[in-house]
Amino acid sequence: MRDPRQVAVVGVTGYSGFELARILLRHPAIQSSVYYLRETHGAQCLGQLFPHLRGSADAPLRPLSLDAITSSAAGTAFLATPHEASAELAPQLLAAGLRVVDLSGAFRFRSADTFTSWYQLPAPDAATLSQAAYGIPELYAEQIKSAPLVANPGCYATSVILALRPLAAFLWIAPGSSVVCDCKSGASGAGKELRRDLQFVELDENFKAYNLFSHRHTPEILEHTGIPESQLTFSTHLLPLARGILSTIYVTLDQPRTADSIEALYRSFYAGRRMIRLWRAGSLPELQHVAHTNFCDIGFALDPSGRRLILVSCLDNLGKGAAGQAVQNFNHMLGLEEHTALQ
């Protein structure tokens, strides 16, 4: 008999997997969490591998094997793994009756073709894709509650979609106008693999754009804002910081609006959604306000014409952009308060 409160985690040695472990270890509804590693380095429990968790983490480590997970009583699996690994593991875990929260991009798209053309990787299993809900709970809570598989969104995509969705839903964006999403991320967004461009000497005191017109989060933004590709410009930059995403988004409104009406639109759209913190007109969120949290903070400024709007959306790429949102999704899957174990 599977118990959804017994969880299996793959990828704890990665940046988002470690963040996930820190949250799961303080989650009051979790009965047990077991961490499956490709290489345990002789460690028996998390605290032995991560000195930061000593005293709070005797959660067991196990060598990664599908059989070990499926023969346990775990009812939920978290995959904080690369796209290819998730694409392979998720269908087998689902077939064994687990529910899966996948942090990779493998199951984020309605069509497998979107994944293959943007990721240049083999198509994910179509039957698995059809079981996936897109994991932004502020938008898709109903689907997430019952989905066998939740595809946790990309970090940049989360910050942009949450900022634009109220305007897009109420058709407040001028038809045919350009929407520019100018986004910056800390270096943990790229994961822990060694890369020359992510070394300290390359990053420190530097700031640069990358993957222009080719960033993999583009199709998520298109699908979940409904903004046509010809109108959307999405640029990504690397900040000399460990964590955080700040998106500055330039929009032309359909007609002159007041700051009060914009704020009211966002407040009613996100009413009761405590992970979205809205800022008063003209006061803007900063990365330091969201670091190590699961909040997405959204602020804006409006020019005197009432038509040129600049939104600023901030989150922690490992929090609301990855592990925090994964737990928020898990909370919905179990019918818990969505902010359980999150802050």
Ligand X SMILES: NC(=O)c1ccc[n+]([C@@H]2O[C@H](COP(=O)([O-])OP(=O)(O)OC[C@H]3O[C@@H](n4cnc5c(N)ncnc54)[C@H](OP(=O)(O)O)[C@@H]3O)[C@@H](O)[C@H]2O)c1
Q: Which residues bind ligand X (CB under 6 A)?
A: 10-11, 13-17, 38-39, 64, 80-83, 85, 103-105, 154-155, 188-189, 191-193, 317-318, 321-322
8 Å CB contact between 149 and 132: yes
Q: In whole angstroms, how close is the CB of 316 to ligand X at the nearest point?
A: 9
For the bound state, the minimum distance from the C-beta of residue 248 to ligand X, rounded and expressed in Å, comes to 19
Q: Is 116 exposed, middle or buried (0-12, 13-18, 19+ CB in 10 A)?
A: middle
Minimum CB distance to ligand X smaller for 75 or for 324? 324
Residue closer to ligand X, measured from CB, 155 or 298: 155
| Long-range contacts from 300-306, C-beta under 8 angstroms, 24+ separation | 300/259, 300/262, 300/263, 302/257, 302/258, 302/259, 302/262, 305/256, 306/253, 306/255, 306/256, 306/257, 306/258
Give me the catalytic one of 45, 155, 181, 296.
Answer: 155
CB atoms within 10 A of CB 210: 13
SS3 assignment, position 187: helix
Phi, psi of 21 (to 5 degrees): -60, -45
CA distance 65 to 208: 40
* Distance in Å, CB of 256 to ligand X, minimum: 37
Residue 329 Cβ vs ligand X, minimum distance, rounded to whole Å: 13
Nearest approach in angstroms of CB 37 to ligand X is 6
155 is catalytic: yes
Residue type, 69: I
Pairing label, strands 32-37, 61-63: parallel
Residue with Cβ nearer ligand X (290 or 309): 290
Cα separation, 104 vs 84, in Å, equals: 9
Q: Which two tokens stand for residue 272?
A: 């009761």
The DSSP secondary-structure symbol of 175 reads: T
**Measured between alpha carbons, how far is 81 from 93 in angstroms, rounded to an integer?**
14
Taking the least distance from each CB to ligand X, the nearer of 17 and 124 is 17
User: In whole angstroms, how far apart are CA 191 and each of 67, 134, 198, 317?
Assistant: 27, 21, 10, 11
Name the residue nearer to ligand X (CB basis): 79 or 311: 79
Cβ-based nearer residue to ligand X, 121 or 259: 121
To the nearest whole angstrom, how small is the minimum distance from the Cβ of residue 206 to ligand X?
Answer: 19
- Catalogue the active-site residues: 155
